[in-house]
Amino acid sequence: MVAQNILLKEEENIDEAKVSVNEHVIGTKKLYIESYGCQMNFADSEVVASILRTNGYSTTSNLEEADLVLLNTCAIRDNAEQKVRTRLSSLNKNKKSNPNLKIGVLGCMAERLKTKFLEEEKMVDLVVGPDAYRDLPNLLEEVESGHKAVNVFLSREETYADISPIRLDSNGVSAFISIMRGCDNMCSFCVVPYTRGRERSRDPHSIYNEALELFEKGYKEVTLLGQNVDSYKWSSETEKYNFANLLEKVALISPELRVRFSTSHPKDITDEVLYTIKKYDNICNYIHLPAQSGSSRILGLMNRTYTREWYLERIHKIREILGEDCGVSHDMIAGFCTETEEDHQQTLSLMDEVVFDYGYMFFYSERPGTPAAKNLKDDVSLEDKKRRVNEIIDKQRQHSAIKNQMSIGKVFRVLIEGESKKSKADFAGRNDQSKVIVFPRKAYKKGDYVNVLVNSCTSGTLIGEIVD
Ligand code: SAH
Ligand code: SF4
Ligand code: F3S
């Protein structure tokens, strides 16, 4: 999930599996769906649940009663894939006790491995790539008739714009909306262009309608999702939209609807987007701007198409237009091919120059078929990779603590997202900068906006009280 907590551990944000349930849907067959990876995968699972509902499936959280188990998988790093393999072997046990159970693999790992999945993992019945979910009913028919089924066709047009997602695990307050699919950037380390295909933007009217519908149902926050939201573009004969225009359109639904977005790309984030954030109070003052490295040499090898100086200029502009209070988080990769200690020091010094609020930090994992795997040597030892990522994590921990300390004594407008995990007597919500704040609940309810005075903090959370 987007920086709901400070995520300081390698992999903590992205590889966790989550079972998605919406028990209220009526159907004769039971679907158990587990999602791994980024928010786009979670959003896709909601599209899949919607497609399968029309095919008579309702979702369940009880594996024992499932007729169909789907794992929506991630291929971003090797350990993301290992988790899925481990999960598949344990699911095999359920297949023994329930021979009619069908198991399908969706998402990025399905797309990467294609039919190889069926050869490698004998218990898998179904392999479906991210652009082929509309074909699920047909594929399931094939599976029902005793065959294995695969569709990993990548599309240049598919955006599932007309499908109304079934909100799974929803708190009824915040929801994700996919605004585009795929990625055309070709960062040399990254598997996403191969698993998600070419970049395409969804019709802005369908995005607007989805956000409006959510707001009318009582939702108070939408997060617009894309691998590179700044390259959103859509046009018809009469209209033309860039990301700034889309943000504005969604923000105008109501001042009571908060709008977030992820992920921004340093090479594409425009001043127009920054001014649009400034213009609307309900567009959150928080930008996730992955850096990946502080060394221009490494950024060049990564094909990120910006330099350290360019990145720092963008940060400067964010702070000039939106003020020092704008939350900024990063992604960083330690130990990319040929990275020296000096390059690593430059990453640490970039962090010192920016002082990020949060960070998602990983060590490099070579992905088969990517430009880096083909052209560069994965020559930093695992030991060095781990040490470097730990140094990056330590620095982020210090910076997050500094940033949290700076919030003490300030009052923030907080959207109540639900009970705090630790105590039923407390609510948890986030402020404009996406920082989690916990406070005694008083007579308010989930979905209310309240003003909260921050009194203290832990490393990941601000603690405060409602001031009426
Ligand atoms: N579209 C986003 C990133 C999506 S992937 C962007 O361009 O910023 C999320 C993060 O996973 C990346 O930002 C990167 O930090 C990390 N990542 C991607 N490929 C990786 C690899 N091969 N090894 C380690 N981390 C990787
Ligand atoms: Fe991967 Fe780069 Fe695209 Fe992000 S922008 S998804 S890192 S190729
Ligand atoms: Fe993983 Fe695919 Fe997302 S590789 S990070 S699930 S786009």
CATH of domain 171-284: 3.30.750.210
Instruction: Locate the ligand 1 atom nearest the alpha carbon of residue 183 and give its number.
Output: 1
411-467 to CATH, choices 2.40.50.140, 3.30.43.10, 2.40.70.10, 3.30.70.1400: 2.40.50.140
Distance 293 CA to ligand 3 centre (A): 20
Task: List, in order, residues 6 or more apart from 89 with CB less than 8 Å away.
Answer: none
Query: Stretch 288-300: mean pLDDT, rounded?
Result: 98
Q: What pLDDT sits at residue 20?
A: 60
For helices 271-279 and 243-251, angle between their N-to-C axes, nearest 10 degrees: 10
Q: What is the CATH number of domain 310-406?
A: 3.30.750.200
Question: Over the stretch 378-435, which tens digit does the pLDDT of each residue have?
Answer: 999 999 999 999 999 999 999 999 999 999 999 999 999 999 999 999 999 999 999 9
- The CA 191 to ligand 2 mean position distance, Å, reads 8
The number of the ligand nearest the C-alpha atom of 333 reads 1
| Residue 10 pLDDT greater than 60, yes or no | no
pLDDT at 374 over 60: yes
Cβ–ligand 3 contact at 191 (below 6 Å)? yes
For residue 13, pLDDT beyond 50: no
Distance from the alpha carbon of residue 330 to the mean position of ligand 1, in angstroms: 11
Task: Return the best residue to mutate from 34, 35, 74 for the ligand 3 pocket (most ligand atoms within 8 A of CB).
Answer: 74
CATH number for the domain formed by residue range(s) 6-151: 3.40.50.12160
What pLDDT, on the 0 to 100 scale, is given for residue 459?
A: 76
Ranking 91-95, 110-114, 384-388 by mean pLDDT, the lowest is 91-95
C-alpha 188 to ligand 2 mean position (Å): 9
Mean pLDDT of 198-220: 97
Ligand 2 pocket member 188 (CB < 6 A): no
Rounded to whole angstroms, the Cα distance separating 428 from 407 reads 16
- Going by pLDDT thresholds of 50, 70 and 90, the confidence category of residue 21 is low
Between the CA atoms of 189, 195, 200 and 201, what dihedral angle is there, to the nearest 10 degrees?
-90
What residues does ligand 1 touch, defined as CB less than 6 Å away? 76-77, 189-190, 227-228, 263, 265, 290, 292, 331, 333, 362, 364-365, 367
Distance, CA of 210 to CA of 169 (rounded, Å): 18
**Bigger pLDDT: 98 or 210?**
210
Percent of the chain, pLDDT > 90? Answer: 88
> 57 near 27, Cβ under 8 Å?
yes
Spans of all domains in the chain: 6-151, 171-284, 310-406, 411-467
Q: State percent of the chain over pLDDT 70.
A: 94
Q: What is the pLDDT of residues 177-201, one digit of tens each?
A: 999 999 999 999 999 999 999 999 9
Ligand 2 atom with least separation from CA of 228: 5
Average pLDDT estimate for 356-374: 97
pLDDT band with cut points at 50, 70 and 90 for residue 169: confident
Confidence band, pLDDT 50/70/90 cuts, at residue 257: very high
Mean pLDDT of 68-91: 96
Closest ligand 2 atom to Cα of 193: 8
Condensed to tens digits (0 to 9), the pLDDT of residues 301-333 reads 999 999 999 999 999 999 999 999 899 999 999
171-284 and 411-467, same CATH topology: no
